[in-house]
Structure 1
């Protein structure tokens, strides 16, 4: 054993990490919650509809460098808008598919290509593929509470005034007072419907558009490209909800 190994072995005691645990077991018991008895009004999310949407996407992706082959693609569906436009039944959906593409790119700095080998680096490229669509909800599980309209009304008071010279003395000006303004207005703060993303499924087909053989000595089978056309079928399952007041009945708070 060399001196450096002896010193490392001697000094290893200073770096020992000894773990200890003070976590002890604790007991628990079930508690029956107290509930209000009778017919209770509450405000909860109500499912208006559950939908399966299918969106077709055709997009061209341009890479920043030549691509030898695609290694892997990871996808994530992100919604940026899901809005039920009341009092219509139209649902507006907007978002994008985040794609992280892992690919091999030829690298001559590692080794020049030969008829039997091609050296490459592994890189990744992230791109957002947008989509948007409008669909109509035809069958509601529960009907939405339609928005109440704001209202604004003006009213006036009658006034009578003497007329200036040139008019009969018995006549008077009968009208409303232009120096006053009276109004009654009401505003409602309606509950906005919202969405939850339940699941998504993507079927895609990616195909190179400008694949060319590699420069210099290389196998006839090898080539690289920079443009990729993808055809994608996106299936999305959504829940459309709205906070509503409902009445529930409770007859007892005894244990079940």
Structure 2
């Protein structure tokens, strides 16, 4: 069984109708549902599977410097939430070079300074979202397994021989032209579809220093000894990305040791 609890509250207001000021909270208790385990079926004989294998696991460090201009003057940075977005992580085959590109999405929360009164000051709380780009390359040491060899497309031309009669004063009646046929073109081509290595992002570690540049005293009713206003922030960021490089490969999987074909 489940139970419901409903609480309605009507705050007193002078300028709003009752339908706009109603506050409602609904609670529900969810009961436990029974479950029963079932047998797991699996192949127990040796098989060949195509699965991702780890080529390398590494930490890439990127040093980033950026300047952000806020849409209005602020007096203090309250918080700065960050999310790392990787848009490119490409391993160039036969070189061991990894190309990385992305950006850090920053949501900056800051307070504004409107005015001062009675020894204090007041303002508003704002936020601004900006994308800080980064890109770099790094050499990869394959501490897992080396990438599969690249299979190169091939193309070969072949021809058939022909025998033709010759006409002219310098040729005898029994002379023949033995050559390939120039009126046809024959070719054998093979195209390979190699599996491109790809990246998984494991973690991102950020150390940053944000510093205001164009600080100045605000025009307030009462002067304050500490507060400044600014709208340009310079950032110094050290970004450490932990990355796995994988590739789909055919892997032989031995028997699991079960007696039956399925369990």
Shift in alpha-carbon separation, 1:101–1:251, aligned structure 2, 3 A:
closer
Shift in alpha-carbon separation, 1:84–1:210, aligned structure 2, 3 A:
same
Provide the C-alpha distance between the structure 1 equivalents of 2:219 and 2:197, rounded to a whole number of angstroms: 58
Q: Which residue in 2 is equivalent to 1:50?
A: 57
Partner residue of 1:117 out of 105, 120, 124: 120
Q: Which residue in 2 is equivalent to 1:132?
A: 135
Matched, 1:65 2:72: yes
Matched, 1:156 2:159: yes
Provide the C-alpha distance between the structure 1 equivalents of 2:100 and 2:218, rounded to a whole number of angstroms: 43
| 1:96–1:130 Cα contact (<8 Å) kept | yes
Q: Which residue in 2 is equivalent to 1:195?
A: 199
Shift in alpha-carbon separation, 1:59–1:152, aligned structure 2, 3 A:
same
| 1:51–1:239 Cα contact (<8 Å) kept | yes
| 1:67–1:106 Cα contact (<8 Å) kept | yes
Q: Which residue in 2 is equivalent to 1:36?
A: 44
TM-score (norm 2): 0.81
Structure 1, unpaired ranges of 5+: none
| 1:206–1:229 Cα contact (<8 Å) kept | yes
- What displacement does 1:178 show? 2.0
Matched, 1:98 2:105: yes
Q: Which residue in 1 is equivalent to 2:15?
A: none
Structure 2, unpaired ranges of 5+: 1-11, 13-17
Equivalent residue pairs, number: 239
- What displacement does 1:220 show? 3.0
Matched, 1:78 2:66: no
Provide the C-alpha distance between the structure 2 equivalents of 1:20 and 1:62, rounded to a whole number of angstroms: 49
